[in-house]
Copies of this chain bind each other. A is one copy, B any other.
Amino acid sequence: MISVVVVGSGNVATHLIQAFSQVDTICLKQVYTRNLDDLETFKITIPVTNSLDLLEEADVTIIAVSDDAISEVSSQIQNSFVVHTSGNTGMQQLRNSTRKGVFYPLQSFSKEKPVDFHHIPFCLEVENSKDMAMLEILANALGGSIYHISSDQRKNIHVAAVFANNFTNHMYQMAKDICDTHQIPFDILQPLIEETADKVKRLSPKDAQTGPAIRKDEKTIKNHLNLLDSSQKELYKHLTESIQKHGKKL
């Protein structure tokens, strides 16, 4: 049985702790948190410490702290194999002098919402190739999908995720603003939002692209611009131009 120590009490740490504590094949030995209060809401019985000096050895020590703290925290850890969970941080930013790796679950986590790790992609990277099997067992135990991803690829995935998540959510925000202004319930758009997300499972986004921008339907574009306020208008123009330029590039 693989033993694990989790360092951190933020979003990712919280969800990993909950998930590992529900899996029989993984032994969650200990959790480190700076502030013991952070873990008080947990209804599970795991040894907790607020001192890195008292950290127990484990097969895998998972640092799930903010990106900025990874180097500093890892420099204080002597455990044999230390991984971080960050999309945006190179493996070599770990400062432990022992073996290093990355265990990055690619998903958007919020504390208030339970996470089902089934099918969540785990981006795995190791310094020492024989450590890969151990990370694969951890990811498998949680039901995740396994991807071998280098630090360079992972940084780019993180940018791609900003488009697929943060910027996409902003599109939803713009749509909701328009609905609110005209007393239209936002839930009227939900089936369209789902279908749009679903479609790119089967079609490439290039083939799925529809609408006035790609059709160069200037009349509809003009009608739409007339309905928008100045900041909406500006964004609509940029996005229309970006779609049209992209069409040309391909």
Interface on A for B, CB 8 Å cutoff? 67, 88, 106-108, 110, 113, 119-121, 123, 147, 149, 152-153, 155-176, 178-179, 181-206, 208-214, 220, 223-224, 227-228, 231, 234-236, 238-239, 242-243, 245-246, 249
8 Å CB contact of A206 from B106, B171, B173, B199: B173
Q: A166-B212, A169-B210 are in contact. List 20 more A-B contacts (CB 8 A).
A: A106-B189, A108-B195, A110-B199, A113-B199, A155-B227, A156-B181, A156-B184, A159-B236, A160-B174, A160-B176, A160-B184, A162-B212, A164-B171, A167-B243, A168-B168, A169-B208, A176-B204, A193-B197, A193-B200, A231-B246
Q: Are A108 and B161 in contact (CB under 8 A)?
A: no
Q: Are B238 and A170 in contact (CB under 8 A)?
A: no
Instruction: Quote the shortest CB–CB distance from A246 to chain B (angstroms).
Output: 6
Instruction: Quote the shortest CB–CB distance from A249 to chain B (angstroms).
Output: 8
Instruction: Quote the shortest CB–CB distance from A218 to chain B (angstroms).
Output: 12
How many copies make up the complex?
2
Q: Are A189 and B161 in contact (CB under 8 A)?
A: yes
Instruction: Quote the shortest CB–CB distance from A109 to chain B (angstroms).
Output: 9
Q: Which of A121, A169, A173 has the most CB of B within 10 A?
A: A169
Instruction: Quote the shortest CB–CB distance from A233 to chain B (angstroms).
Output: 10
Name 30 A/B residue pairs within 8 A (Cβ), A-sorted: A88-B223, A110-B203, A113-B202, A152-B182, A156-B182, A160-B176, A161-B189, A162-B212, A162-B213, A163-B171, A163-B172, A164-B171, A164-B172, A164-B175, A164-B196, A166-B209, A166-B211, A167-B174, A167-B243, A168-B168, A168-B196, A168-B197, A169-B205, A170-B205, A170-B209, A170-B246, A173-B205, A190-B200, A194-B197, A235-B242
